Amino acid sequence: MHNNSLSDRFFLGMYDEVTAYTGGSDEFNCMACHTPIGTDSLEALPPSWPRISRITQEGILCDFCHTMIDPVTYGPSSIKYGPRADAQSTFHQSAFSQLLTGSEFCGFCHDQTNPKTGVSIQGTYTEWKASPAAATGVRCQDCHMTPGPLMPGPNPGKAADDGPERENVSTHWMVGGNASTLASAPHRQLARENLKAAGSVSIAVAGSVAAGSVFDVNVTVANNGAGHYLPTGVTDTREMWLELTVADAAGKTIFHSGGIDGNGALDPSSVQYHTVYQDASGQPTDKSWLATRILSDHRIPPLGSVTERYIVQAPADAVLPLTAWATLRYRIASQARVDSLLGGGTLYIPVTDMAIARVDFP
């Protein structure tokens, strides 16, 4: 996905929107992370954009990370930096970099604020730094540079064809939760596995369940796999929500929340886990470059949980027993937001079911 950081049509649509709003001044500099080399060369900024070279089109490429000496020093060099002190190559000089061994390296891009207002618009690194994962020494690399979902353990092998056997070799897939069609099939599958390993749901009922009665269905959502909040990243754009269905023994649905309509739009009354910004006029906005403050932030911290209360009324003719299904669902962006930028039918955003629970009420 790093390689696709500048070919993501949704991102490009948002960038065009920002550029139009700022009159091309690029005051809100998205490109510094999406194509750092293109930003340094000024190719990715107006007025050169979008006439860019092949190197700039490659987004976040290998050389960017492996020539970085500190957060502001990188670029063409015959010395390639990595996390091993004994690395040797027949193609270039190799040197150890302490910088590449820690989560701080990832935080350069995965922690951003609005430069005008100081409002956090992406706080993944800050979330991790305050988490139990950081307290126990688990780094970003331990989950996102492994061959399986969320820290499966050491990955022995060779880092290079002619290199020595290593106890652990970091993969460079760096998959998060993006299961969109922009990713290759193996990466989409790993993204889905990551999402399924990150959260869980459980259901409890409170009150008397009978035909004609009113009772509570309490759904608990837990973050038991991620070292940051669920969801994380640009959480004004991400969609993670609960879908709850209660049906009677005849298959009749008596309660439903969290559905998606034929256009892919989420039921606005759904329980959603996301950040909502406020603009200068005091209105909610889904445009982070207009954010003056965080209006609400309903998400799940690492090793934390939230319980949502649903009030359900069973009709008098309900056939007992009743059954409830709760599903924690996720997609990388709102389909409505994508459609507003690119046009309906241009880009489909798939939904991943992270966790499912079922309860038959007595």
**Domain residue limits, the chain:** 199-360
Q: What is the pLDDT of residues 129-182, one digit of tens each?
A: 999 999 999 999 999 999 988 877 889 999 988 899 999 999 999 999 999 878
Span 37-54, average pLDDT: 81
**In 6-156, which residue ranges form alpha helices assigned H by DSSP?**
9-22, 31-34, 36-40, 54-57, 62-66, 104-107, 124-129, 132-135, 140-144
CA atoms within 13 A on the CB side of 227: 23
Phi-psi region of 357 (alpha: psi -120 to 50; beta: other; left: phi over 0): beta
Residue 85 amino acid letter: A
pLDDT at 111 > cutoff 80: yes
Question: What percentage of the chain reaches a pLDDT higher than 90?
Answer: 72
CB atoms within 10 A of CB 253: 9
Q: Domain 199-360 belongs to what topology? A: Immunoglobulin-like (2.60.40)
Residue 200 amino acid letter: S
Residue 346 amino acid letter: T
| Nearest alpha carbon to residue 185 among 173, 195, 197, 170 | 173
Q: What is the pLDDT of residues 268-296, one digit of tens each?
A: 999 999 999 999 999 999 889 899 999 99
pTM for the predicted model, two decimal places: 0.94
Between the CA of residue 209 and those of 202, 251, 311, 355, what are the distances in Å?
18, 17, 12, 25
Helix H or strand E encompassing 336:
helix 335-342
Residue indicated by tokens 């649509």:
13
Residue indicated by tokens 């969609």:
239
Q: What is the pLDDT of residues 54-108, one digit of tens each?
A: 888 889 989 889 998 887 777 788 899 999 999 999 889 999 999 999 999 999 9
DSSP 321: S
Q: What is the pLDDT of residues 282-333, one digit of tens each?
A: 999 988 989 999 999 999 999 999 999 999 999 999 999 999 999 999 999 9
CA distance 334 to 6: 20
CB atoms within 10 A of CB 221: 25
Strand runs (DSSP E) across 159-273, as ranges? 165-166, 199-206, 214-223, 239-247, 253-257
Residue 349 amino acid letter: I
Residue 129 amino acid letter: K
